Amino acid sequence: MLAFILRRLVQSVAVLLAVGVVSFFLFRYVGDPINAMVGQDTSQQERDALREKLGLNDPAPVQFFHFLVNAAQGKFGLSYRTSEPVSRMILERLPATLELSFCASLFVLFFGVPMGVYTGLYPRHWSSRLLQAVSLIGVSLPTFLIGILLILFFSVMLHWLPSFGRGETVDIGGWTTNFLTRKGLEALILPSITLGLFQLTLIMRLVRSEMLEVMRTDYIKFARARGLTNRAINFGHALKNTLVPVITVAGLQLGALIAFALVTETVFAWPGVGQLFIQSVQFSDIPVMAAYLMLIGLLFVVINLVVDLLYFAVDPRLRGGGTARAGGH
Amino acid sequence: MADWFRRAADSDIWWSFKSSPLTVVAAVATLLIILVSFLSPLIAPHTPFDPGSLNLSDGLKPPVFVSDEGDWTFPLGTDDQGRDILSSIMYGTRLSLVVGFASVIVAMVLGIALGLVSGYVGGAVDAVIMRIADVQLTFPAILVALLIDGIVRGLISVQRHDEIAIYVIVGAIGLSFWVQYARTVRGSVLVEKNKEYVQAARVIGLSPVLIMVRHVLPNVTGPVLVIATLNLGLAIISEATLSFLGVGLPSTQPSLGTLIRLGNEVLQSGDWWITVFPGATLAALVLAVNLLGDWLRDALNPKLR
Amino acid sequence: MTFSVRHSVAMGALVCAALATSSAVEAKTFRWTNSGDVSSMDPFARQETFLLTFTQNIYDPLVRRDKNLKLEPALATKWGQVDKNTWFFDIRPNVKFSDGTPLTADDIVFSLNRANGPGSNMGSNFASVKEIKKAGDLRVEVTTKYPDPLLADKWAALGMMSKAWAEKNNAVNSADMTKNEENYATRNAMGTGPFILKERKAGERTVLVPNPNWWDKPTHNLTEVIFTPVANPATRVAALKAGDVDMMYEVPPADTESLKKDANVNVLEGPETRVVYLGMDQERDELVESSVKGKNPFKDKRVREVFHRSIDVDAIKRTVMRGQSFPTDLMVAPGINGYMKDLDKRPALLKPEEAKKMLADAGYPNGFEVGMDCPNDRYVNDEKICQAVVSMLARVGVKVNLRAQTRNLYFAKILRKSDGKPGETSFYMLGWSPAQTYDVHNVFEALIQTPNAATKKGMFNAGGYSNPALDKLADAMEQETDKAKRDDMIRQATKLYVDDFAYIPLHQQAVVWAARKNIDLFQPADNAFPLRFVTVK
C-alpha cells in the first residue's frame, strides 16, 4: 500500500519535472525573452546588460534550476502583453475556471451517470435510443457551436440567462466566487452546460457500455438466480462494478474540463485562465503560456494521484499491480 | 479478390451492417461527402480561393431558395468577398477531411509503433514510453495542439506559418491522439507475447519485428479501427475548434472550422448562410463518422451482440 | 426528466431576473464593453485614443474639447500667449483631487513634466517646449523654442495628476509600456475628474464611481460605471441585445444592421477623422518581396496609377464595410483644417484590359508578384479590405501575397525605425488621423514629407515617397500665419501628392457605437467617449 503510494508520488514528481522542462524550453528558447521585453530603440549594450541581469547567459541546467525554484514559488515574471506579474494574472482568474469546471462536472455526473445506467438497463427501450441519438449529436457538435446556439436561444431570444461574464461575484480573501449571488449562479448555468455536454455524453456512453457488459456476466446471473431484487442487482452489484472505469474516466475528464474550459471561456467571455491562455497564444505571450502549462500539469498530476488512490480503494484486486488502467474504451 | 468479397459478404460484420439502416445511411452519407469534396476541383461551380476569380459585386448574395435576390450561379449564397458558399464548403470539407485523415494516420502509426515497442521490449523502454503517455494524457488534445501551434508560431514568421499551417495542425492533432493506440496495442502485445506460438516463433529465430507484424498486429486491427474511426470525428472537431479559436488554418485556405469562424463574426448581422451551411456540413460529417464508429465498436465487440 | 429539471431551473432564473429589474430603479449603473481593455490607468502610458478617452474620465486636462471639438476651459480658466514664445495657463481655484487635497500650479507643472518625461508616450506633444514653470499658485507659464500656435490644442488630451500622490506611491515617472514596466499609477489613479477609479482588474473589469467633489456640474446621472472588455464580437453583440451591457463601443459593421433592427438598441454612427490608406515602397531600388528583380515597379507612376485606379472603394464600402465607410481620395478627412473638398474626387476605375495595357506599357506585360502587409486587429475589417484588394489586383494580373498579422507585430515590421531606416514592407495598409491638432500639416509632416531622421519629418512615411516641391510647401505652411496664403500652399501640396498617386487613400471608417434605448449619450467625431455626457433613463 505504502509502496504503491510512494511509487505514484515519485511518478507524479517525474511527470511534473517533464512538464517543467517543456515549460522551461518554451520560456527560454521560443522567442527571445529580451526582444519581447525591450523597445526597438534599446541599444545592444542595454540588451546585453539585461541578458546578464536576468541570468540568460548561465548554462542551461543552471537556468532550468532557477526556473524551477522560481516556479515553485509561483514566480513566472511579467507578462509580455500586459506587463503584469504572471502569477497574479493567473491567480486572479483561477477561481473563475475552477468554479466553472466544478459546476460542469457536477452537471456531468448528476445527469450522465443516471442516463448511462438507464440506457444500459433498458437498451432496447425507445427513450434509451433517443438518449443515445441525442448523445451522438452532442458528440458531433463542436463545443463552440453549442455555446453560440445556447447564447442565441437563452440569452438573445428568451432573455432568461446572461450571455457573458461571471455576473456578480463575491471576493473572499482573494477568491472571487459565483456561488454567493443569484446573478453569479445564473451566469454559471449556460457555460457549465456548454462545457459539460461533451463529457456528459462520454460518461453516459461509458456507463452504458459498462452496465451492458456487467449485466451479461455470470456474477449478475448468479445474483439473479439467488433471487435478489432487480434494484439490489442493478445498483448494489452492477453499478458498483462499473465504478472503477467511471472513476478513472471521470477524474481524467475533470482535468479535461479544466483544459477544455478555454473554448467555453472564449465563447462566453468568462474571465478564466483558459481565456488568458488563448490570448497569450495569439500574442506569443510566452511567460503566461509557460505558467499555464505548469499549472495544468500540476492540476492533472494531483487529479491523477487522487484517482489512482480512489481506484485502489474501490478495487482491491489492483493492490498488487498498480499500473492497470481502463484501456480501450 | 472475388473470394474476398464473398467472404466479406458472408461475414457477421456485413450482416450487422445491413441490418442497421442508420449505419447504412451514415456510410452512404460519409462516402458521398468524401466523394463530392475530393472531386471539388472538378465539380465545384467556382474556385473560391483564386482571388482573380472573385468579384466584390457578387458579395453577400443570399441563397436562392430564401430570397429573390439570390442568384443560381451561387445556390447557397456568397460571403462578403463574393465567394460562393457551396464551393467554399466543398473545398473546405476536403481540407477538413485531409486534416482529419492525415492526423489520424499520424496518431495511428506513432501509437502502434510505440505500443508494439513498449509491449514487446518492456523494461525501461516500456516505462519511459508509458510515462510519456502519462504526461501526454496530462494535457488534453486541444491543449497539446494549441501549445504546438503556439510554439511553431513563436519560431517562424507569419508568412511561413500560413504556408505550413496545415502540417502544423496535422502534427499537432496527430501528436495529441497517439496514446490510446499505444495503450491498446501494448496491452494486446503483453497478452500475446507469452503465448506458445509467439515463443515458438522466437525459438525458430524469426525476427521480433516479423513476429509482431505477423502475429500481434492482426489481433489489434479491430480495436485500432474503432479508435481510428472515432478519432476521425474528434480530429475533425479539433481542427474546427482550433480554426475557430483563430489558431488553425488561415483564411486563405479555409477548412470548415475557418469558414464557421469567418461566418460567426457576422452571424448576428442576418447573413446566417455564411455560418449555418458550413456548420451543418461539419455536424453532418462528424455525426455520420461517429455513427460508423459506434456501430463498428459494437459490431467488433462480440460480448455486446 | 432531464429536460424538465433544466426547464424549471431556467424558469426560476426568469422569475428572479424579473424581480431584479424591478428593484434596481434607483442605482444608475452604466455597463459598457469594448473588444479590448484599456492598456493602463496611467494617462501618459500610450498615445492612443481609447486610453486617452478612458483616463480623461478620471484625470481632467487643462483645456478640454466640447461637443463640437472646440476647446473649452477645464482646469485652466484662461490661457493664451503672453508673447510669441510664451504661453500662460491660469489654474481654476478651489479644485480638489478626489482624495481632498487642493490642486495647485505645482501639480500642473509636475504633470506636464511627467508627460514629457521618461516612460511617457506623450513626448511628441512637447517638441516645441523649452521650459514649463510655476508663475504663482494658480498660474503656469511655458516658454517655447519657436512660436507654437497649436500648443493648447496639443495638450487637450493630457490629464493632470496629483503630485503628492504620485510621489508618495513612487509613480513620479510614467511606467514605460514598451519596456514592460508597471508602477502604482498603472492600476490606480488620482485626478480631479468627474469619476473616481473604484476597482481595476486588468482584462476583466474596471469600475468607476462619480467624484462627489468634482468642480464642474455633472451632466450625467450615473452612480456606477462598469467597463468589461469582451473579445468575441458575437458575444459582445449578444450581450448588448440581451441587456447584459448598456453600451458597446466600436460595433463591427456586419452587426450594425441587426442592432438597428433591435427595438431596444440605438445605433450611433458618424465618420471618423481617420483615413485608412494603402502605401507602396517607392524608396528601395528593389522591393523586399516581389517577382521583379533589379528595379522597383512602384517607382513608376504608371504602376501606382494602375493600382490606385483598379481598387474599387465603393464595392469595398458595399460588401466588406456594409456601407459603414466614406470613400475618399485625400489623406485627410472632412472636419480637419485643410481638407479640400473640391480635390476629393477619385479618378475613374480602369477596366481590366486598360489596366493590363498600362502595365504592359510600363514593362510588365504579364503583371508581377508583390507581397502585401496588413494588420488584422487594428482598423475596421482591415484584413477583409486587404483580401478584397488582393482579388481586385488579381484581375489586372498582379499577384499579391497577403500577410495579415496582429498589430503589435505588424507595426514593428512595417514602420520606419527611429534611425530612419525603412520598415520591411513593399505594400501596406495604415490609418492616420491628425487627432491632436486637427490640422492637415500634421499629415504632411508625418506621412508625406521625405523621411528624415534628423528633423523627425516623414517618420510615418513608410513607403518613402519623396517630392522636394511638396517638402518645401509643407515646411512653409508650418510657419505661415496668413490663412489665405496657407490655404493656397495646402491646395498646391495636396494636388502634388494626388497627381503623383503617392498613396492610395481608401476611406474614413464610420465610428459606430450602440447603446440600449434607455441610455442617452453623445458621440463626438474623434471617437472619444466622455462618460460625463451619459445619462441613464
For residue C264, how many other CB atoms are within 10 A of its CB?
Answer: 14
**Average pLDDT for residues C170-199, to the nearest whole number?**
86
Backbone angles phi, psi at C90, to 5 degrees: -90, 125
ipTM for the whole complex: 0.73
Backbone angles phi, psi at C226, to 5 degrees: -115, 120
Q: Where are the beta strands (DSSP E) in C84-216?
A: 86-91, 129-134, 139-144, 195-201, 205-210
How many domains in chain B?
1
Same domain, C155 and C283: no
Alpha carbon C26 to its chain's center = 36
Amino acid symbol at C379: Y
Out of A136, A213, A289, the one facing B291 most closely (by C-beta) is A136
Q: Return the partners of chain A (3 or more C-beta pairs < 8 Å).
A: B, C
Residue C414 C-alpha cell reads as: 512595417
Q: Name the more confident of B59 and C93.
A: C93
Measure the CA–CA gap between C333 and C340, rounded to whole angstroms: 9
Beta carbons of C238 and A163 less than 8 Å apart: yes
Same domain, C338 and C484: yes
Q: Where are the domains of chain A?
A: 103-143+193-321
Q: What is the pLDDT of residue A38?
A: 53
Backbone angles phi, psi at C60, to 5 degrees: -80, 145
Beta carbons of B268 and C258 less than 8 Å apart: yes
Measure the CA–CA gap between C180 and C420, rounded to whole angstroms: 24
How far C512 CA lies from chain B's nearest CA (Å)?
Answer: 14
Out of A136, A145, A286, the one facing B287 most closely (by C-beta) is A136
Instruction: Write out residues in chain A with pLDDT < 50, as ranges.
Output: 39-41, 320-329
Q: Which residues of B touch C (CB under 8 A)?
A: 50-57, 59-60, 80-82, 158-159, 162, 251-252, 264-271
Alpha carbon C251 to its chain's center = 15
Facing residues of C439 across strands?
Answer: C337
How far B162 CA lies from chain C's nearest CA (Å)?
Answer: 8
How far C261 CA lies from chain B's nearest CA (Å)?
Answer: 10
Write out chain B residues lying below 8 Å of C233, CB-based. 265
Q: Name the more confident of C525 and C528.
A: C528
**Close Cβ partners of C278 (under 8 Å, ≥ 6 residues apart):** C307, C311, C389, C427, C428, C429, C503, C504, C506
* CA atoms in the 13 A half-sphere facing the CB of A253: 25
Same domain, C54 and C166: yes
C174 is in which domain, residue-wise?
43-181
Write out chain B residues lying below 8 Å of C261, CB-based. 270
The answer to whether the CB of A296 falls within 8 A of the CB of B139 is yes
What value, to the nearest 5°, has the Cα angle with vertex B89 and ends B141 and A132? 55
A 185-224 residues inside an 8 A Cβ radius of B: 209, 212-213, 216
Q: What is the pLDDT of residues C94-140, one digit of tens each?
A: 999 999 999 999 999 999 999 988 888 787 778 788 999 999 999 99
Orientation of helix A240-268 relative to helix A86-121, angle to 10°: 130
Q: What is the pLDDT of residue C233?
A: 78
Q: What is the pLDDT of residue A40?
A: 42
The answer to whether the CB of C478 falls within 8 A of the CB of C441 is yes
**Close Cβ partners of C55 (under 8 Å, ≥ 6 residues apart):** C38, C41, C42, C43, C159, C189, C191
Q: For residue A231, with 0-12 CB atoms within 10 Å meaning exposed, 13-18 middle and 19 or more buried, which class applies?
A: exposed
Q: Does A23 touch chain B (CB under 8 A)?
A: no
Residue B95 C-alpha cell reads as: 481540407
Q: What's this model's pTM, rounded to 2 decimal places?
A: 0.75
Q: Tell me the percentage of chain C whose pLDDT exceeds 70.
A: 93
Closest to C56 in 3D by CA, of C99, C101, C111, C119: C111
Q: What is the pLDDT of residue A150?
A: 85
Q: What is the full per-residue pLDDT of chain B (305 aa) written as tens digits?
A: 566 666 666 667 777 777 788 889 999 999 999 999 999 888 888 888 787 788 887 877 888 887 777 778 888 888 888 889 999 999 999 999 999 999 999 999 999 999 988 888 888 888 888 878 877 766 667 777 777 777 776 666 656 667 778 888 898 888 888 888 998 888 888 877 777 777 787 788 777 777 777 777 787 788 888 889 888 998 999 898 888 887 778 777 788 888 888 887 776 666 778 888 998 899 899 999 988 888 887 787 654 43
Residue at which a domain ends, from C147, C181, C215: C181
Write out chain A residues lying below 8 Å of B183, CB-based. 325, 327-328
Q: For residue B29, with 0-12 CB atoms within 10 Å meaning exposed, 13-18 middle and 19 or more buried, which class applies?
A: middle
For an interface test with A, which of C42, C46, C204, C226 has the most A Cβ atoms less than 10 Å from its Cβ? Answer: C204
The answer to whether the CB of A192 falls within 8 A of the CB of A104 is yes
Max Cα-Cα span within chain B? 78
Beta carbons of C180 and A162 less than 8 Å apart: no
The answer, yes or no, to whether residue C4 has pLDDT greater than 50, is: no
Write out chain B residues lying below 8 Å of C288, CB-based. none
The answer to whether the CB of C14 falls within 8 A of the CB of A160 is yes
Beta carbons of B265 and C254 less than 8 Å apart: yes
Beta carbons of A259 and B237 less than 8 Å apart: no
Beta carbons of B52 and C395 less than 8 Å apart: yes
How many domains in chain C?
2
Q: What is the pLDDT of residue A36?
A: 52
Does residue C229 lie in a domain region?
Answer: no
B211 is in which domain, residue-wise?
2-304
Q: Does A83 touch chain C (CB under 8 A)?
A: yes
Measure the CA–CA gap between C183 and C352, rounded to whole angstroms: 57
Out of B140, B183, B264, the one facing A256 most closely (by C-beta) is B140
Worst-scoring range by mean pLDDT, A163-177, C184-198, C206-220, C254-268? A163-177
Query: For chains B and C, what is the number of CB pairs under 8 angstroms?
Result: 80
Q: Which residue has the cell 524550453?
A: A25
The DSSP call for residue C269 is E
Out of C261, C391, C402, the one facing B52 most closely (by C-beta) is C391
Does residue C15 lie in a domain region?
Answer: no
DSSP-derived secondary structure for A290-305: HHHHHHHHHHHHHHHH
Amino acid symbol at C106: D
Position C16 confidence tier, pLDDT thresholds 50, 70, 90: very low
Q: What is the pLDDT of residue C50?
A: 84
* Mean of per-residue pLDDT scores for chain C: 87
Quickly list H helices, chain A: 2-29, 33-37, 44-53, 60-72, 86-121, 126-140, 143-150, 182-215, 218-225, 230-231, 240-268, 273-282, 286-314
Write out chain B residues lying below 8 Å of A296, CB-based. 138-139, 143
How far B55 CA lies from chain A's nearest CA (Å)?
Answer: 30
The answer, yes or no, to whether residue C22 has pLDDT greater than 70, is: no
The answer, yes or no, to whether residue C9 has pLDDT greater than 70, is: no
Beta carbons of C175 and A152 less than 8 Å apart: no
For B284, the 3-state DSSP assignment is helix
CATH number at residue B75: 1.10.3720.10
CATH number at residue C68: 3.90.76.10
**Average pLDDT for residues C478-492, to the nearest whole number?**
88
Closest to C339 in 3D by CA, of C273, C278, C280: C273
Quickly list H helices, C264-362: 301-310, 313-318, 352-361
Strand A175-177 with A170-172, pairing: antiparallel
Residue A296 C-alpha cell reads as: 495544468
Quickly list H helices, B1-84: 2-10, 12-18, 21-38, 40-43
Write out chain C residues lying below 8 Å of B80, CB-based. 254, 319-320, 322, 384
The answer, yes or no, to whether residue C369 has pLDDT greater than 60, is: yes
Q: Tell me the percentage of chain C whose pLDDT exceeds 90.
A: 54
The answer, yes or no, to whether residue C159 has pLDDT greater than 90, is: yes
Out of C238, C315, C318, the one facing B268 most closely (by C-beta) is C238
For C527, the 3-state DSSP assignment is coil
User: String of b and e for C160-176 (b: at least 16 CB within 10 Å)?
Assistant: bbbbebbeeeebbbbbb
Write out chain C residues lying below 8 Å of A183, CB-based. 20
Beta carbons of B269 and C255 less than 8 Å apart: yes
Does residue C192 lie in a domain region?
Answer: no
Residues in chain A: 329
Position C78 confidence tier, pLDDT thresholds 50, 70, 90: very high
What value, to the nearest 5°, has the Cα angle with vertex A177 and ends A176 and A182? 135
**Close Cβ partners of A324 (under 8 Å, ≥ 6 residues apart):** A318
Position C487 confidence tier, pLDDT thresholds 50, 70, 90: very high
Q: Name the more confident of A281 and C67.
A: C67
Closest to A206 in 3D by CA, of A125, A109, A313: A109
At the topology level, CATH places domain A103-143+193-321 in MetI-like fold (1.10.3720)
For C243, the 3-state DSSP assignment is coil
